Amino acid sequence: MILARRASTPDHAEPILMNNSMIQAEVTLRNIIQSNILLCPSDTPISEAARRMVDERCSSILIEDAGRIAGIWTEQDALAVNLSDPEVFRVPISKVMSSPVKTTDIDTRIGIAASRFRDDKNRHLLVLDQAGERRGVVSQSD
């Protein structure tokens, strides 16, 4: 259960209880996504993609090739890179990205998204609107 407050007057709030399943039934990805999408071309070196992720405090970057999303590179993917080889930092991100990118609709309920993360063993979903346009990325920790 989650304790919330219902404002009865501007200076006073009355506590109410809300069931987690009630919240999940009502909240969609539209309510929680970050709409800024971090993108890079497929020939971007790993070092540049990693630097941009750090600068933007983002756990993923989408890889674009000829105007379409070709893949995603995440913090988890970075753990699989052999960083003891200095040449790896010049490798194009397309060589180490995950593909295809899992997508979901912007009106997906958060409970459904949580199930997808668990079932697909995936931590990021590209969120699309009804027209198929990119609207954001949601991560398991969101």
Task: Give yes or no for residue 61 having a pLDDT over 90.
Answer: yes
Predicted local confidence at residue 3, as pLDDT: 35
Q: How far is CA 122 from CA 15, 62, 130, in A?
A: 36, 15, 22
Task: Give yes or no for residue 14 having a pLDDT over 60.
Answer: no
Residues of the chain with pLDDT > 90, as a percent, come to 62
Q: How far is CA 30 from CA 33, 129, 136, in A?
A: 6, 9, 9
pLDDT, tens only, 68-107: 999 999 999 998 898 888 999 999 999 999 999 999 999 9
**Residue 19 pLDDT level (bands cut at 50, 70, 90):** low
- Cα 65–Cα 108–Cα 104 angle in degrees, nearest 5: 20
This prediction's pTM: 0.77
